[in-house]
Chain A
Amino acid sequence: MLNINDLHARVEDTAILHGLNLEVKPGEVHAIMGPNGAGKSTLGNVLAGRPGYEVTGGTVTYKGSDLLELEAEDRARAGVFLAFQYPVEIPGVSNMEFLKASVDAIRTARGEEAMSSMDFIKLAREKCKAVDLPQDFLKRGVNEGFSGGEKKRNELLQMMLLEPSLCILDETDSGLDIDALQVVARGVNALRSPDRGIIVVTHYQRLLDYIVPDYVHVLAKGRIVKSGGRELALELEKHGYSWIDEEVA
């Protein structure tokens, strides 16, 4: 589903990714771990097409076509979803309005009919319950005055409504207490399916206790330097990242 080959990218004048390789097949959950500044967030942003992130080499193939050719909104419509590390506020625009516009745009792109408002409200309320958000969140401005945990759960709510093919979670666990972490993990696990790929970017092993990955990759200095199974994460937890740094050097 996703094939990243020798990807180089920079942000403004700083080169961050230096030849990254990764393959994600449908049904797989990949965890990407690494020290601060390794390029973890850059990877998610490059895949989602964020302005300011410039690809300087390599290829990314998604479902058989060149992902890098597409505009950000077209990537989203093709099923690429990025759960943001720091979701921004859009004052005055209600969550409901935002979610409806988003679901409509993506359904239209898939050739499906737009949902009726009534059906949508019903669905949105149901998904709210699943991520433990009270229903009045739908009426509030997008992320407006939300706590850190509420913002992350709101990202998850969007993911559940849009049912993307490829989910990228960018440090979704940062700033979450253990209860919120479990809610998020439960949501992500519910989304695991044979035709969906999931990339979990995280600094801590903790999240992987709840979202058990099929593969763990260590990202350091802009490249995947080590890959393995679940046990690699535990090893990192024990020895820290300096061990990797030494090995790479």
Chain B
Amino acid sequence: MSENIDQYLKSEYSAGWITDIESLTIPPGLNEDVIRLISAKKQEPEWMLEWRLKAYRAWLEMKEPEWAHVVYPKPDFQALSYYSSPKSMEDGPQSLDEVDPELLRTYEKLGIPVHEQEVLAGVAVDMVFDSVSVGTTFRQKLKDAGVIFCPISEAVHEYPELVKKYLGSVVPQKDNFYAALNSAVFSDGSFVYIPKGVRCPMELSTYFRINEAKTGQFERTLIIADEGSQVSYLEGCTAPMRDENQLHAAVVELVALDDADIKYSTVQNWYPGDAEGKGGIYNFVTKRGIAHTRSKISWTQVETGSAVTWKYPSCILKGDDSIGEFYSVALTSNHQQADTGTKMIHLGKNTRSTIIAKGISAKQSSNSYRGLVKMNPGAEGARNYTQCDSLLIGDKCGAHTFPYIESKNPTAVIEHEATTSKVSDDQLFLCQQRGIDAEKAVSMIVNGFCKDVFRELPMEFAVEAGKLLEVSLEGAVG
């Protein structure tokens, strides 16, 4: 009998779910009713709705920032739809035969298995068995360690105290235009909590998170590492992702409590637009971590995608002896524009930060590094080391560096090194004279240039990142 009820409940649930997605339509535009509707759809508690509304009201007063070194038509925020229910699988391509051959060619070069290609290209495949089995073993292992890793929408219900305490504690709702927008309408994202003294037994990857495919354009991630804990989080995927949403505005908040250690690695390869610069994702991201006493936050990113990137993963070094690191490779080609860098805000005594930023520009692209190193009056004995290198391929691209340094403590030490170089004809000829063709030569030279950053990536990611650069630079040598 009870089995029958279970059966009944299950089918009811799934049927309800299907009806749900098919019937739901929200007209474009943003107002308080839309936010109430999003919140209601997620059956959020009242406090969450209030939090979103507060963000929305702040956003109304704000202007889209224009200081970045990027040019693009400003999105019409009233023309966007802020709740896109998951698209029915029938709307997508039914097999790989219907997928853009150019995309498939790229998958092939990256060595992605056919099954994963289907998922990435949005082909209607039954993923259930795979993800359930992988997900279950994975979750069990984390559960045994006491680690919480779930969609943030779930955390709002399951762990409201943690969410209430930390959501917006690093990136407040009013922080900036895109962060405010994200706070008002965020779709979903990851929630991670590592308990005191626990070393997370595995690298956490969005790849394994159930529902990953539908996080939408306003992703929100919150990672809390409690005292003395340790976690490494991998975000993204080397494969270019198909996505019909042009605007992406994500927020990531990291909280490293005393003696905790968070390593956050990103490979970003959203659709960059075609060779003429048409299409492509606008990626406006706010990522920030707060480091308490003796804790460490390390950002590593490999950015090759998106038409426009606006992104500054930052560290607030609040606790004494805390450490912040930023390792970045940003590659732009065709008409891509990237304005990316970091902020290291030193508040505590003897805080240390390291910035290694490598920018590569090819074709007509524009690549800017923008970084702030700030030593507050309390940052006694603090140190920063910044190394910022640009590599140009061809003579139509641009590389720009905008370093900002503010020091209010005379004992603080700040070092800044910057270089700009070109892949020279002589280097190319040396390679060719040794039988290596020009494209392989460029990829080898670029990978050599990025070595200091790739070293920081988890092993598997590093190999993929190298391959990704090679594919992204195809045709960059004339």
Contact = CB atoms under 8 A, between A and B. Distances in A.
B461 interface: no
Contacts, number: 80
Given A90-B448, A92-B449, A101-B444, A73 B436 contact: yes
A77 interface: yes
A158 B434 contact: yes
Interface string A81-109: 11010011111111001100110011001
Interface in B24-62: none
Contact of B448 (A52, A77, A82, A141): A141
A48 B437 CA distance: 14
B441 to A, nearest CB: 8
Interface in A156-205: 158, 162
A76 B448 CA distance: 23
Interface string A59-76: 000000000000111011
Interface stretch (B207-215, B340-348, B424-432): B424-432
A98 B429 contact: no
B433 interface: yes
Number of contact residues on B: which range applies?
Answer: 20 to 34
A48 B444 CA distance: 21
With a 10 A CB-CB cut-off, give which of A77, A90, A98, A109 has the most chain B CB atoms.
A90
A87 B430 contact: yes
A162 B434 contact: yes
A93 B426 contact: no
A88 B432 contact: no
Contacts of A93: 444-445, 447-448
User: Range of interface residues on chain A?
Assistant: 20 to 34
Nearest to B423: A90
A91 B435 contact: no
Contacts of B445: 90, 93
A72 B440 contact: no
Contacts of B448: 90-94, 141
B157 interface: no
Interface string B75-112: 00000000000000000000000000000000000000
B434 A88 contact: no
Contact of B435 (A52, A84, A88, A109): A109
Contacts of B427: 88-90
A51 interface: yes
B429 A51 contact: yes
Interface of B: 424-427, 429-438, 440, 444-445, 447-452
